[in-house]
Amino acid sequence: MSRLRLVSLLAVALCAATWHTPAWAISECEDTKKLGDRAMDDSRYSDALAAYKKSYECNGEPSLLYNRARALEALGQFPESLKLLLQFQNAAPESLLKRVPGLSDLVAETRNKVTTLDIRCNVEGAEVRTRDQVVGTVPFAERVLINAGGATIQVALDGYLPWEQHLDLPGGGQVVLDVKLHTNDKDGMLVVESPASGSQVFIDDKLVGTVPTETRVSPGPHQVVVTHSGYSDAEESVVVPAGTRKSLVMKMVESSFLSSWWFWGGVVGVVAGGAAAGYMLFPEAEEAGRGDIAPGQIEAPLMVQF
Domain map (residue ranges) of the chain: 18-111, 114-179, 188-254
Q: Using N-to-C axis directions, what is the helix angle for 45-59 and 63-74, rounded to 10°?
A: 160
Mean per-residue pLDDT for 285-294?
49
293, pLDDT greater than 70:
no
Mean per-residue pLDDT for 281-293?
49
Task: Report the percent of the chain where pLDDT is more than 70.
Answer: 75
Domains 114-179 and 188-254 share a fold: yes
Task: Mention the CATH class of domain 188-254.
Answer: mainly beta
Whole-angstrom distance, CA of residue 231 vs CA of residue 225 = 12
pTM: 0.59
pLDDT at 184: 78
| Average pLDDT value over all residues in the chain | 82
Query: Is the CA virtual torsion 62, 64, 65, 67 positive or negative?
Result: positive
35, pLDDT greater than 50:
yes
pLDDT at 188: 86
Q: At the fourth CATH level, which superfamily is domain 114-179? A: Immunoglobulins (2.60.40.10)
Whole-angstrom distance, CA of residue 224 vs CA of residue 215 = 12
Q: At the fourth CATH level, which superfamily is domain 18-111? A: Tetratricopeptide repeat domain (1.25.40.10)
pLDDT at 265: 52
User: Please, what's the b/e burial string for 242-260 (b: 16 or more CB within 10 A of its CB; e: otherwise)?
Assistant: eeebbebebebeeeeeeee
Q: Range with the lowest mean pLDDT among 21-25, 83-87, 152-156, 182-186?
A: 21-25
pLDDT at 282: 47
pLDDT at 22: 56
Mean per-residue pLDDT for 22-41?
83
Beta bridge pairs of residue 166: 152
Whole-angstrom distance, CA of residue 237 vs CA of residue 224 = 6
Question: Would you call 23 helix, strand, or coil by DSSP?
Answer: helix
262, pLDDT greater than 80:
no
6, pLDDT greater than 50:
no
- Are the C-beta atoms of residues 203 and 190 closer than 8 Å to each other? yes
Q: Range with the lowest mean pLDDT among 45-49, 153-157, 235-239, 264-268?
A: 264-268
